[in-house]
Amino acid sequence: MEAYLQEWSQKPPYKTEANFVPGEGSLAARVVFIGEAPGRQEDLQKRPFVGAAGKLLDEMLAAINLKREDVYITNVVKYRPPHNRDPLPEEIYANAPLLQKELAVIRPELIVILGRHALNNFFPSLKISQSHGQAKRLGEQVFYILYHPAAALYQGSLREVLASEFRRIPKILEKINELSKNEKNHNEKNGQPRLSAAEEHEVAQQGELF
Ligand code: URA
């Protein structure tokens, strides 16, 4: 991973004046948080979520007794888009291998999606306004969809929604553990084949997991 990050910091996958802002936290984390792209503060400090949205994220983590070091925090795009514009599809595409590498190394129990860009990276047809607060499963991976902390800062009414949905993270982790224990027992007993990733995608699109 270190070598991989080194390479990316020296050679961005496209032309950009911005600094490389890699993910940070524990590589043994049970939970990975994925935001959109670095903002001004993140670009200056070369660290994810260190501005106003990061402060809110830190507060919400503290409310569930977690510190930044216990989790892993990253972004879909690792370079600040000029003038804080939305990341372009080609930027998301060009950054995807690094996000995949982070997830492959960490193999988190839960991926917490923060906002619509991270959401559409994994679930292109879902809308954040309709799917926030829901857990979904895609293949083996469980995702939990939340509003982006910056959205909650701009739009005060979302703040309590985000905070209360965020507080469900420990319960969701518990459920994932129960689910994986049950599945293991079930598969050991019956030797049932698992659903294919495509079938699970269907399931994920249909309704709430928890
Ligand atoms: N917003 C993001 O999506 N990511 C950051 O790192 C900071 C703000």
Domain-embedded: residue 11? yes
Is the pLDDT assigned to residue 192 strictly greater than 70?
A: no
**Assigned domain for 176 exists:** yes
Q: Is 178 inside a domain boundary?
A: yes
Tell me if 46 is assigned to some domain: yes
164: how many CB neighbours lie within 10 A of its CB?
10
- Cα of 146 to ligand 1 centre, how many Å? 14
User: What's the pLDDT band for 7 if we cut at 50, 70, 90?
Assistant: confident
For ligand 1, whether the C-beta of 38 sits within 6 Å is: yes
Q: Domain containing 125 — which CATH number? A: 3.40.470.10
**Given pLDDT bands bounded at 50, 70 and 90, which one contains residue 54?**
very high
Mean predicted confidence (pLDDT) in 168-192: 82
Residue 79 DSSP label: B
How far away, in angstroms, is 75 Cα from ligand 1 center? 7
pLDDT of residue 95 exceeding 70: yes
Q: Tell me the pLDDT tens digit for each residue of 104-157.
A: 999 999 999 999 999 999 999 999 999 999 999 998 899 999 999 999 999 999
Atom of ligand 1 nearest to the CA of 117: 3
At residue 208, does pLDDT exceed 70?
no
* Mutation pick for ligand 1 pocket among 33, 34, 41, 42 (CB with most ligand atoms within 8 Å): 42
Distance from the Cα of residue 125 to its chain's centroid: 17
In the chain, how many domains are there?
1
| pLDDT band (50, 70, 90) for residue 206 | low
Q: Is position 189 within any domain?
A: no
The answer as to whether 68 is a domain residue is: yes
Domain with 36 in it:
2-184+194-206
Q: Report yes or no: 138 and 131 within 8 Å, Cβ to Cβ.
A: no
Within-domain flag for 154: yes
- For residue 118, how far is its CA from the centre of ligand 1 (angstroms)? 11
Q: 36 in a domain, yes or no? A: yes
Split at pLDDT 50, 70, 90, the class of 189 is low
Q: What are phi and psi of 107, to 5 degrees?
A: 45, 65
